[in-house]
Amino acid sequence: MLLILVSCKRNIILTLLLISFFNNFSQNKPNIIWLVCEDQSLFFSAYGDSSAQTPNINELALNGTVYDNFYTVSPVCSPSRSSIVTGMYPTTIGTQHMRAYKKNKGSINSKTNLPIYSAVPKRKVQFFTEILRANGYYCSNNSKEDYNMEMSPLAWDESNKNAHWRKRAKNQPFFSVFNFNITHESRIWKNHEKHSEEDINKIILPPFFPKNHTIKNDFVTNYKNIEKLDEQVGEIIEQLKEDGLYDKTIIFFYSDHGGPFPRYKRSIYDSGLKCPLIIKWTEPKIKPRNDQMISFIDLAPTILELTKSQTIHKMEGVSFYNQNNRDYIFAATDRFDEYTDKRRCVRNKEFKLIINCDTNSSIMKPVLYRQNMKTMRILDSLNDLKKNTISMESWYKKTKPKYELYDIVNDPYELNNLYTNKDYDSIFYELKKKLDNWIDESDYGNITENQILKEMWPNGEKPKLKDPSIIQKDNGINIISNNNNSSVGWRNNKTENWKIYSTDEIINPENSFEIIVFKPGYGSIIKTYQ
């Protein structure tokens, strides 16, 4: 009975201490929400396209900042998300091949005949939300975990379709992600319907597409999906207002890469790389427009700066909060499901250079999944009939040039390759030097996927973690990971969330407790102590 009373007293004291801590801590720590839509380019009023009615997203833009130069590092979801959560280029950490890792799937990728593998980075890599959690934040993810690598069990307090900031401790600051798939590529055919002639006639297609009624209909569908997205965004905004948190929360709205259509998604042109980014700040008088160049790898370090959270390892990204540190954007394409097309690009505000590593194949890859879209089937048919636009004919052409150079300012759709124009030689060599250096600096970006797997999995075996150990101290316990570049957590029982363990921290667990060690590519190991 005495032991029970002591334990209860300790828990009460701990609870009171936590409440006091969060009351004081939260005063200087902003709440942050990410509203992440899928597969969208600049199809929004804030960027001059009013085809979709988006009053809630417009409200964020009115009260915040619209960023005009925000770029993904890969024009497809899982590699781009790996860069977001780590602050690292996919070609550095080995996550550039789409669907290399997929949760709860067989051991062999049926499209590549390679094992399903989680990337094993050579450098220290950490899910940045682990750092937030170590700094007192409640981190929730609703609910995408598509990182092209095994998720860290320490990354989130909660990651599921019901995850929400409302489940945090009272006054605890939070970082919450809401993912919306209503605008995903698949919703073009899943939500397909025949739209009115009035709506169709309003559509102005990009110049690389032929003027086609069916393609326009698919564009209308996308705009209708955006309007549904706006309603879902509005629900989150309303919940913040109900909780009295709207004015106290920084809200990011962005897309995971460019639009859902052919030559958008999976494309290294700006149609696939350039994304919307709107941030509603808590501070007054933030300028409404910002043209600084921002990469997806800059999101994590920006959040760490905003939350005053320190990291002990170096990210490739840089914070863009009140700073303009980037003159160049880099991006890569590699395997998309069943097809590989290794392309690399560098871009400044005026020009873009693309290197095509395989010149003996078309830019267009007949990805089976995309064939569900009527637009794709129309383009195939027109190409067979030789009735496509010149740019789409180039897209289908069985070979491609080694280099592509574009004047982005005057040719935003990248239709006129200037590489052979001697007037642009100095620009070409400047950008090529930058791009070559970036390629050379990457750990996995210049080798084949087979070679990547051999380096990551010697002898075809997934690397294994060592068991952690503990050191008994007079005032508690130290945890020793016994694994370099790993993350460590602990909990008293299986019903608790994992607590982040900091190096040399003294903990006072109950008589029975668990320790977890996680390392990207290695997975996790759990050890129970009695």
Hey, which residues are catalytic here?
Answer: 77
CB-based burial label for 107 (10 Å; 0-12, 13-18, 19+): exposed
Angle between helices 55-62 and 213-242 (to 10 degrees): 60
How would you classify the pairing of strands 31-37 and 174-180? parallel
Three-class secondary structure of residue 258 per DSSP: coil
Distance between CA 140 and CA 154 in Å, rounded? 11
The answer to whether the CB of 321 falls within 8 A of the CB of 299 is no
Cis amide linkage into residue 143, ω under 30° from 0 = yes
Q: β-strands 476-480, 274-280: how paired?
A: unpaired
User: In whole angstroms, how far apart are CA 244 and each of 62, 121, 239?
Assistant: 19, 42, 9
Phi, psi torsion values for 222, nearest 5 degrees: -60, -45
333, 306, 329, 307: which is closest to 316 by C-alpha? 329
Instruction: Please choose, from the candidates 379, 376, 317, the residue with its C-alpha nearest in 3D space to the C-alpha of residue 125.
Output: 317
Tokens encoding 166: 């409302």
Edge-to-edge strand ranges of the sheet holding 351-356: 329-336, 339-347, 351-356, 403-407
Residue bearing tokens 């320190």:
310
Token digits of residue 334: 């590699």
